Amino acid sequence: MGLGAYLAAVTEKKHYEVEERRERTEVKECPKAEEDEIYAIFEQYGIARPESRGVVEGLKQNEEMWVRFMMDFELKLAKPTVNGAWIEGLVMGLAYFLGGLLPMIPYFAFRIVDHALFTSIGITVVILVGFGYVKALVTGTSHRDAGWSAVQTLVVGAVAAGMSYGIVRAVNSGGRVEC
């Protein structure tokens, strides 16, 4: 999972670079068409050509800002930072490792499987609630919204666990699904 997160960040950066090169080429080789695209963008916001003409002329004077405008408003692509790709990969890898490992520990600690199962479920609930709450706070939400995020994360996790359990039951029953 960590490697997947890293590769996704690197791929996002490459995609941005390819689109940026294409926009630069279009600005140089087809400036009239690009100018018309800017007017079309402003028209989506209810701003007619006469009102947006000054901004368009200003963008045409600075190729760097023109390309940046097109990346932001035409393609709606934010410039990714690949410097943090390894951090994203590390965080994702650790989250999956710990999130998968911690609930397994009771199975090594308890002799009775039922005790291990219920302890594992408790640990998983705490991890899901904690993750949902902290994730929301990191993104800048209020404590109340973070509480809802924690509940939402718990519900999604519970549904995923239930689906996994159902699949295992179906496979173990030899293809027969019991209702």
- Per-residue pLDDT tens digits for 35-66: 999 999 999 999 999 999 999 999 999 999 99
Helices and strands per DSSP (H, E), number in the chain: 8, 0
DSSP string, 10-39: HHHHHHHHHHHHHHHHHHHH-HHHHHHHHH
Instruction: Please state, in angstroms and rounded to a whole number, the distance separating the CA atoms of residues 116 and 107.
Output: 5
Instruction: Please state, in angstroms and rounded to a whole number, the distance separating the CA atoms of residues 58 and 10.
Output: 33
- Per-residue pLDDT tens digits for 139-162: 899 999 999 999 999 999 999 989
Its pTM surpasses 0.75: no
